[in-house]
Amino acid sequence: MDALLELLKKNARESDATLAKLLGISEQEVRARIAAYEEEGVIRGYQALLNTDRLDTCGVKAVIELRVRPEREGGFDRVAARIGKFPQVESMYLMSGAYDLLLIVKGASLQEVANFVSARLAPLDGVLSTSTHFMLKTYKDQGVLMESESHDDRLQVCP
C-alpha cells in the first residue's frame, strides 16, 4: 500500500504538514494525492476509532451470519445492496464457507437487534437463514488494542 495511505490508516488526523515531512514531499502534493484518492473512491471516509465499551450508552453489536439464495443475474449483489441500506447494518462482507453474508449490526438493546433480525432481515426474499451472535467485549479493532500494552517504561538514561 502507498505510504501515504498507511499513514492515514494509522492516524487520519495527521496534518498535511507532518505528512509532507514524513514522506519528504510538499504539502501541495499531499493534498493533491489525498484528493485523488477521495475522487477515485479509495478513501471512503474518516472516522474516529472508539472503544465503545468505555461509553455509558454504547448499545449492543451482533455478528449475523446469513445464508442467501443467489440470483441468476447478479449473484449476491442485489440482496446485499438491499441489506446494506439498513442503517442498523454497520459492516457487511461476502464470505466463503458455511454461510454467505456476514453482517455486523448495531442496536440500542438485545431486543432491538433481535427484532431487526426477525422482522426485517429474515423475511427478506432470498434470505434462507440467519444466525445471530452478540458481541460481549472488544479487545482489538482495526489493528488497535483497546487496552494499551504498556506505557513507555524505558530508562530515561541509557547506556
Partner 1 sequence: MTTDSKSAPDFVAPHVRGLPKSGIRDFFDIVVGRKDVISLGIGEPDFQTPWHIRERTIEAVERGATRYTSNLGTPELRQALAAYMRDSFHAEYDWQHEILVTVGVSEAFDLAMRAVLSPGDEVLYHEPCFVAYAPLIRMAHGVPVAVETFRRDDFRPTVEELKKKVTPRTRVLLLSFPNNPTGATLDRADTEALADFAIRHNLLVVSDEVYSELTYEGGRHSMAAIPRLRDRLIFLNGFSKAWSMTGFRLGYACAPAPLTDAMMKIHQFGMMCASSISQTAGLEALRHGDDAIAEMRDAYHLRRNFVVASLNEMGLDCFMPRGAFYVFPSIQSTGLSSKEFALRLLNECNVACVPGEAFGACGEGFLRCAYATGMTQLKEAMERMGKFVSALVH
Q: Hey, CA dihedral for 71, 74, 75, 80, is it positive or negative? A: negative
> What strands, in cross-sheet order, belong to the sheet with 60-68?
89-94, 101-107, 60-68, 127-134
Candidates 1, 9, 13, 23; binder of partner 1 (CB under 8 A) is 23
Candidates 48, 55, 119, 157; binder of partner 1 (CB under 8 A) is 157
Using rule CB under 8 A, residue 1 touches partner 1: no
Candidates 3, 95, 110, 144; binder of partner 1 (CB under 8 A) is 3
The stretch among 19-27, 36-44, 56-64, 127-135 that binds partner 1 (CB under 8 A) is 19-27
The widest CA-to-CA distance across the chain, in whole angstroms, is: 69
Rounded to a whole number of angstroms, the minimum distance from the CB of residue 86 to partner 1 is 38
Q: Tell me the per-residue interface mask from 100 to 139 with partner 1, x by CB under 8 A, - otherwise.
A: ----------------------------------------
Where does this chain bind partner 1 (CB under 8 A)? 3, 7, 11, 18, 20-24, 149-150, 152, 154-159
